Amino acid sequence: MTTNKDMLTIEYLAKRFNSNFELVTHASNLAKNVIAVGRDSRVPTPIKNPAYWVLLEIAEEKDSFDDVFNRDAKMDEEMGTVTSKKDLITRVIQ
């Protein structure tokens, strides 16, 4: 049986990605999303660290981004994200 400790190695996590850089970029963006949305881990754990949650979610293939549309403009500017569906559609079209 694979334990959380075994699953959280770079070798195990990187299997789904083309490079370690892709893994780190994905994990970083996912952690920002978790914090912005304010959600809990999708994987049961007593640990209260969003970075840890993200690694567990990647390991168990439960990682996905949540829509974040109702935040203040300052947070959007800091994170470089969109504030509305209209903004998102405009950026995708460009």
Which domains are assigned to the chain?
Answer: 4-66 (3.90.940.10)
Burial class (CB in 10 A: 0-12, 13-18, 19+), 93: exposed
Model pLDDT, residue 1: 40
- For 42-51, how does the pLDDT look when each residue is reduced to its tens digit (9 = 90+)? 999 999 999 9
pLDDT tens-digit map of 18-46 = 999 999 999 999 999 998 888 899 999 99
Full-prediction pTM beyond 0.85?
no
Other CB atoms within 10 Å distance of the CB of residue 29? 14
Which residue has better confidence, 83 or 10?
A: 10
Confidence of residue 85 (pLDDT cuts 50, 70, 90): low
